[in-house]
Every structure is written in structure tokens, then in C-alpha cells.
Chains A and B, each alone.
Chain A
Amino acid sequence: MNKLDLQDPDINNVQIKVCSRCIYDERVSNISFDANGICNYCHQVDKLKEEYGTGKSKGTLQLNKILDKIKLEGANKKYDCIVGVSGGTDSSYLLYLAKKWGLRPLAVHFDNTWNTAIATMNIHKLLNHLEIDLYTYVVDNKEMDDIIRSFILAGVAESEAPNDLGFAYLLRIAARKYSIKYILEGHSFTEEGITPLGRNYFDGKYIKSIHQKFGKRKMKTYPLMTFTRFLTSIIFDQVKFIRPLWYISYSKKDAQEHLNQLCGWEYYGGHHLENRSAAFFHTIYLPGKFNSDFRNNTISSQVRIGNCSREDGWSIYNTAPIVEPDLLTYVKKRLEISDIEFEHIMNKQPLSWKDYPTYKKRFERLKGLFYLLAKLNLVPKSFYIKYCS
């Protein structure tokens, strides 16, 4: 099944060019190397660290200013910010921090009905301990399965897009429902890196068109972020997106230990593995069909911050990912894909998002508008970079 183009696990025997600082290699999209063999993504991380004062007093000062503003603007409300939760490390730790900083967060969870027990239990333990309220949206399971299945039948890589975009829109829905003006995101560029540009892409039109073509059911409960809904939310709700972990020093490993001691929170064994459809995507579907392995994102970051040597990182990256036993059987059964059909899907020539209708051209035309909105923090800066260029 695994089609990963694995290289020699010994970094000294490798024939392709690998960054001299992290483990990104020449196959990473839009990569370039400087005279010292350091890749542009390492430089990007350095630049962001400088800009956000990550882990330094500059960063703390900037963040404190933002926190004060959140408290002030939310003073008369039941909640002053939203934190999206998945049961994973970053969002869990961010909730803990939010509470420690004196914020009054509402936890928001997009339930795609593929949760692992460990994720569900983590959310419960943590919210109970911190006394934080939860807003959940559960999609009709059969409808969600139909949408995920349609992406797999379409032969494109973005089978997790319906989850990611559904979650993104749900945060906006919850913000409107409770008139909350700030959404905190648990992303850390030092721990996870910046996703290389051009690797994958998704938007509301992409999801709608793929589902219309390959789905069997009607889209009734899935929160689809169409262009109009997106723009309406930006203009009327004026929610700001904040990534607190960009300003402070943050270690995933320490966070996990801390959460465990705090409330018995447990680690689930890998980035994104707290959800079973995400686990399928990362450990089976992407490596098997697209010869693609997102682990280099996290591993490169771990090498950059010195948690792991370059040699060890490269060796891990070039060893096939560990797949949960039974996961594939479960996915096939749930998505009603037979063994033969699955084999056929995995062997078929991969297609790209460019083969289906999307809003990409429209976002590019409106580049100026989104530049302004990103300046005002009304859309994430990463959105502007990814969608408008």
C-alpha cells in the first residue's frame, strides 16, 4: 500500500538535496536554498520569530497588549474569546493558557463524528477541570461520510478539507451566535512549521463541486463556507484571529506533560491522530496515493528547535508512518468502499484541486481587498498568502 518515495534513512547517503538546517528536501514545493544550503522555510521561521518576538520580551509585550484588548472588548459578555478544540495538544494547551491569562474562553468543537475516544475524553477532562463551556456542532454522520468519500472518489488529496473548512466556518458561526470578537488559534510555527505553499488547497466551492459530482446525498447539515458567507462574516462579525503561540516560547512536549499532570489528559501518539479520518488521511491515503507525507512539517520544526537531531529526524521521516491496525478496515467499511474499489482508487493517477472548480481566481482578483483585511487581522495573514497569490 505504501508508495512513499522513501530515501536512504542515513542522511549522509542521500542523493537528493536536503536543507542543511532542517530536513526539507528539494521535493518540497516552492523550496529554494541559500549559499549555505539553508532552505527558504528556515529563513521564513527566523523572520517570523523576529517579527513576533517569539519567546522574548517583545513577544510577551505584544501579546499582553492583545490580551488586554480582548478583556476590555469582552468585558460585558459571557465569553470574551473562542478557542477551537480537537482534543489535541495545541488547542488543549491554549485553553489552559487562556484561562491562566484571565480570559473567559468558549471552547468550540466541530464534531465530524470520527473522533477517537481519547480525543473525546481529553476534551471532557480538560473542560471539566478548567470549568470551560463547550459549543459543539455535530454533522449528520452519513452526510459527512458522503462528503469525505466524494473527495476520495474524485482522486484529489484534500480529503480532510471538509473537516478543516467546516471547523473554520463553525468558529465564525459560534462567534456570531455569542457575539464574540476574538478567535484564538493554537498554531505554533516553531513547533509545526509553515505548510509549504502550493501543497494543497481548498475552499467552499471546491467542496461543493466535488460533493455535487461524486456524492450521493444532499448537503443539509454540513456548515459550508461559501464565498458570500465568508465575506458576510468578515464584514459583519469582524472577528479577529489571534495566534498566541506565535508570541511565546512553546514546547509541545512540555505542554503534554503539563496537561497530563493537570487533569489526566493523554497523548494520542502523533500530530492529527486524535481523529480517525485525519489519521487515515495522514498515515494511509496521502502516503499511499500521493507519495506525500506531512510529517516533514513537524519533524523539520523539531530539528530547527533542537528537540531532535537532523540525522534522527531524517531517519524517522524516511521510515513509513505507523498505521493503527484496523484503521483501514474501519474506513473502508464506514465509507462503503470495497477492497477492489479501494485498490483501484489508490492506484489511479492522482488529480489536483486545479482539475475542479474553486474560488481561487476570485480570491486572486480581490487580492487588494484581502491584503487590507489581513492588515486589519480580519482574515489570517496565512489566508492572504495562500489564497490570493
Chain B
Amino acid sequence: MLRTRIIPVLLLKGESLVKTIKFKNFTYVGDPCNSLRIFNELEVDELMVLDISASKEKKSPNFSLIKDMCSECFMPLSYGGGIRTIEHAKKLFDLGIEKIVLNTYAIENHLFISQLSSYFGSQAIIVSIDIRKRRFAKKDVFSNTFKSYLNLDPIDWAKQAEELGAGELLLTSVDNEGTWQGMDFDLIKNISQNISIPLIAHGGAGNLDHIKKAIHEGGASAVGLGSMVTFQKKGMGVLIHMPKLENFN
């Protein structure tokens, strides 16, 4: 049996790491390079860094910071945020990024997924989908950059992303993110049943049972962790660590 993949998902705002609750109320977590150094020592298998301010501020990826992060990081590192051209992607791979994560620009320009995928191979392309429940209505794909719903059915968009050439999906539940209260298991299940590429479930994990449930019942192939690797426990102080996974597989 394959090992369960646990991926710390770190959020970059400017040049600081932060952690959010439902994409709001951010808390400072630390210096990106210093934090990656700590994760390195914790022998994490893979990591993901998402720049949550790049697209909003219409900025390109902060290549010099990414270069420094790559030099601190000995495990595979995925990066997302502000990627809008083939050149951006090329530069990121040259710096040592293993996989790139697309969100805003993939929504604006669907064909960008295909372009990148045919250029670099689908295994290097993760499409990130943020889902939020509309008031009195069903769940919708949400754009954090534009702070708006896209009137897109989550399953349709996930299927489409796969067809366009995504090699993996990052599925984030905005309503659950940072809450510790469990993940949106129905959503995870619905999506995983409709796609054949690996799914990284993210948002809401607060204990090992949540992670197990996302994998075994939800059908996710990996779980992204934010709060659980950032805080000592719910409501308590920032303290980078990795949950023990021994009794896990």
C-alpha cells in the first residue's frame, strides 16, 4: 500500500508566511525560509507554498524569494501564485520547483492548463480549486483573487481541469479552512469519484481521524495541512510541527 501523502500547505503573503481562517483573519506564522528549514529537519515528504497575494496584487511570482526557499528545501516543493506565462513556469522549474499550482489564471484562461501541460507534462501541473457554499444555495467555485463566485459546478470544473491536462487537483474548502472542524468529506468524495487524477484534499483537518476519513472514505490521495502543522493545537500558539503518522498507514 502506498504511504499516505501529507503535504503542509504554507501561505505566503508578501514575504511572510501567514495562516488564515476561511481565507480571512490572517496570523503571522514566520519567515518563509526559516520555516522551510524547520520543515526540512522534520523530514516532511513534500511541501506546497501558495502565494495568496501575488494574483490579487497583479504581481509575478517573487522569484528571488522562491530561489531562497528552494535552497532551504530538500524535499519536493510545489508553488502556486501569480503564474501567468510559460516563462514564469519555466523559471520556477529551473529554480527547482517540482510542481506548479494554478488557480486564478487557469480560471481566466482555461487553455493555459493545456499549454503548460503539453509543455512540461501533466505530472508537473496542479490545478487548485477553491469551493465555497453560497448562501441558501449550492457549493460553487470561488475566486479569492476576485472575491466572487464563478457560477461553476465544482464537479464540472474538476472534470474539465483534468481534461485540459491537470495532473493533480488541489481541492480547498473555503468554509472549512482553518476551522479544525473536519473537512468537507462529501465534496471530496464527489470530486474524487468523478476524476481519475490524484486529489489533494485541503481545508479543515483538525486531527488524524479527519485525515484518515479524507483518504479512506473521501478517496483523496493526499491531504494538505495548514493549521495542524502551524499551531500547537486549536486556539493555541504558533509552533511548527508535523503530526505523528506512525499509526497511520
Contact = CB atoms under 8 A, between A and B. Distances in A.
A292 B7 CA distance: 45
A113 interface: yes
Contacts of A114: 31, 34
B150 interface: no
Nearest to A139: B28
A133 B15 CA distance: 29
Interface in B13-35: 14-17, 27-34
B239 A113 contact: no
Interface string B164-202: 000000000000000000000000000000000000000
A114 B236 CA distance: 20
B153 interface: no
B240 interface: yes
Interface string A119-161: 0110110010000011111111110010000000000000000
Interface string B134-173: 0000000000000000000000000000000000000000
B42 interface: yes
A107 B239 CA distance: 12
B34 A124 contact: no
A331 B16 CA distance: 17
Contacts of B30: 111, 113, 115, 138, 141
Contact of A117 (B32, B41, B233, B237): B41
Contacts of B42: 117, 121
A133 B236 CA distance: 7
Nearest to B40: A117
A109 B17 CA distance: 18
A121 B41 contact: yes
A117 B232 contact: no
Contacts of A115: 30, 34, 38
Nearest to A143: B16
Nearest to A125: B241
A45 interface: no
A211 to B, nearest CB: 18
B228 to A, nearest CB: 12
Contact of B239 (A116, A120, A139, A145): A120
Interface in A47-90: none
Contacts of B45: none
A123 B237 CA distance: 11
Contacts of A304: none
A121 B31 contact: no
B37 interface: yes
B217 interface: no
A140 B17 CA distance: 9
A170 to B, nearest CB: 11
B52 to A, nearest CB: 16
A334 B68 CA distance: 10
A137 to B, nearest CB: 8
A121 B74 CA distance: 19
A221 interface: yes
Given A139-B28, A142-B14, A134 B239 contact: yes
Interface residues of A, number: 29
B28 A138 contact: yes
Contact of A120 (B15, B33, B241): B241
A333 interface: yes
Most B C-beta atoms less than 10 A away, residue of A109, A115, A138, A142: A138
A143 B198 CA distance: 39
B34 A113 contact: yes
B75 interface: no
B238 interface: yes
A292 to B, nearest CB: 26
B236 A120 contact: no
B236 to A, nearest CB: 5
A174 B38 CA distance: 26
Interface string B88-111: 000000000000000000000000
A99 to B, nearest CB: 16
Interface in B98-136: none
A162 to B, nearest CB: 15
A142 B62 CA distance: 15
A141 B232 contact: no
A168 to B, nearest CB: 17
A181 interface: no
A276 interface: yes
A136 B237 contact: yes
B32 to A, nearest CB: 8
A279 to B, nearest CB: 13
Given A114-B34, A115-B34, A133-B232, A121 B241 contact: yes
Contacts of A133: 232-233, 236-237
B28 A135 contact: no
A334 B15 CA distance: 11
Interface string A261-275: 000000000000000
Nearest to A124: B241
Contacts of A141: 15-17, 28, 30-32, 34
Interface of B: 14-17, 27-34, 37-38, 40-42, 68, 232-233, 236-241
- Closest 9 pairs (CB-CB, A-B): A136-B237, A117-B41, A141-B31, A134-B237, A113-B31, A138-B28, A136-B238, A117-B38, A134-B232
9 contacts: A109-B239, A111-B238, A117-B40, A117-B41, A121-B41, A127-B239, A133-B237, A141-B17, A141-B31
